[in-house]
Amino acid sequence: MDNPSIKPLIFHIDVNSAFLSWEAFYRVNKLGETVDLREIPSAIGGNKETRHGIILAKSTPAKKYNIQTGEPIVNALKKCPNLTIVPPNHSLYVECSNNFIDLLKQYAPVVEQYSIDEAFLDMTGTSKLYKDPIAFAHTLKDEIKTKLGFTVNVGISRNKLLAKMASDFEKPDKVHTLFPEEIETKLWPLPVEDLFFVGPSTAKKLYNLGIYTIGDLARTDLELIRGHFKKHGEVIWNYANGIDTDDIRKHIPANKGYSHDITLPYDVTDRQTAKHFLLAICETLGARIRADKSYISVVAVSFLDNEFNQHSKQISLPSSTDVTEKIYEHACNLFDSVWNNRPIRLLSVHTSKATDESYEQINMFDSEKYEKLSKLNSAIDSIRNKYGESSIKRASMMNDKKRDSLKH
Least confident of 209-218, 388-397, 399-408: 399-408
For residue 114, being part of any structural domain is answered with yes
User: In this structure, is residue 324 part of a structural domain?
Assistant: yes
Lowest-confidence segment of 40-54, 191-205, 317-331 by average pLDDT: 40-54
Could you tell me if 60 and 111 lie in one domain? yes
Same domain for 183 and 193: no
Q: Which pLDDT belongs to residue 378? A: 58
| 393: in domain | no
Using H for helix, E for strand and C for coil, what is the string for the chain? CCCCCCCCCEEEEEECCHHHHHHHHHHHHCCCCCCCHHHCCEEECCECCCCECECCEECHHHHCCCCCCCCEHHHHHHHCCCCEEECCCHHHHHHHHHHHHHHHHCCCCEEEEEECCEEEEECCCCCCCCCCHHHHHHHHHHHHHHHHCCCEEEEEECCHHHHHHHHCCCCCCCEEECCHHHHHHHHCCCEHHHCCCCCHHHHHHHHHCCCCEHHHHHHCCHHHHHHHHHHHHHHHHHHHCCCCCCCCCCCCCCCCEEEEEEEEEEEECCHHHHHHHHHHHHHHHHHHHHHCCCEEEEEEEEEEECCCCEEEEEEEEEEEECCHHHHHHHHHHHHHHHCCCCCEEEEEEEEECCECCCCCCCCCCCHHHHHHHHHHHHHHHHHHHHHCHHHCCCHHHCCHHHHHCCCC
Residues 75/46, Cβ–Cβ less than 8 Å:
no
- pLDDT (mean) for 266-284: 87
pLDDT tens, residue by residue, 57-77: 899 999 999 998 888 888 999
CA distance 358 to 372: 14
Q: What is the mean pLDDT of residues 239-251?
A: 73
Is 219 in the same domain as 293? no
Asked whether residue 391 carries a pLDDT value surpassing 60, the answer given is no
Q: What is the mean pLDDT of residues 268-273?
A: 88
What is the pLDDT at residue 18? 92
225 and 163 assigned to the same domain: no
Whole-angstrom distance between the N-terminal and C-terminal Cα of the chain? Answer: 50
Region 18-37: what's the mean pLDDT?
94
Residues composing the chain: 408
177 lies in the same domain as 195: no
> How much is the mean pLDDT over the chain?
84
Q: Do 170 and 293 have their domain in common?
A: no
131 and 16 housed in the same domain: yes
Q: Which CATH number covers residue 176? A: 3.30.70.270
Domain count, the chain: 3
Q: What is the pLDDT of residues 251-267, one digit of tens each?
A: 344 446 788 888 777 78
Average pLDDT over residues 142-165: 96
Q: For residue 254, what pLDDT is reported? A: 44
Q: Which of 54-63, 120-129, 180-189, 360-369 has the highest mean pLDDT?
A: 180-189
Question: So what's the pLDDT on residue 227?
Answer: 94
Domain that holds residue 324: 257-387
pLDDT class for 366, splitting at 50, 70, 90?
low
Are 142 and 29 in a shared domain? yes
Q: Is residue 52 pLDDT above 70, yes or no?
A: no
Residues assigned a catalytic role: 118
Same domain, 202 and 268: no
The pTM of the full predicted model, rounded to 2 decimals, is 0.74
41/168 same-domain check: yes
Looking at the structure, do residues 134 and 63 belong to the same domain, yes or no? yes
Residue 247 belongs to some domain of the structure: no
**Is 293 part of a structural domain of the chain?**
yes
341-359, pLDDT tens digit by residue? 888 988 989 998 887 766 5
The whole-number average pLDDT for the span 279-301 is 87
- The CATH code of the domain that includes 219 is 1.10.150.20
404 inside domain:
no
Flag whether pLDDT at 387 surpasses 90: no
pLDDT, average across residues 170-177? 95
CATH of the domain at 286: 3.30.1490.100
Q: Are residues 134 and 8 in the same domain?
A: yes
Whether the predicted pLDDT of 316 surpasses 50: yes
